[in-house]
Amino acid sequence: MKAVVDRTLRAVSPEAVVEEIDISSDPDLESRYGSEIPVLMVNGKKAAKYRVSEEALRRILNDQTGQAG
């Protein structure tokens, strides 16, 4: 998922900030997301788990910004 996110963000939203969190250092996060990693959160909301395609991520990002296609 990381490679898709990096590649897509460079093309769609180069100013976006990605924060990678190791959930093993936080018992609460590990309890909530341990069986779903990797999890992609966009603006604090779960956008994808396990994997995401470039096309799906572009749609997610466009929905967040109100942009078309």
> Closest Cα partner for 21 from 35, 3, 33, 9?
33
What's the whole-model pTM score? 0.78
Cβ(42)–Cβ(54) below 8 Å: no
Q: What is the rounded CA–CA span in Å between residue 48 and residue 34? A: 14
CATH numeric code, 2-64: 3.40.30.10
> Closest Cα partner for 7 from 54, 64, 41, 43?
54
Cβ(64)–Cβ(12) below 8 Å: no
- From first to last of its 69 residues, the chain has per-residue pLDDT tens of 999 999 999 898 888 889 999 998 899 999 998 888 999 999 889 999 999 999 999 999 888 766 655
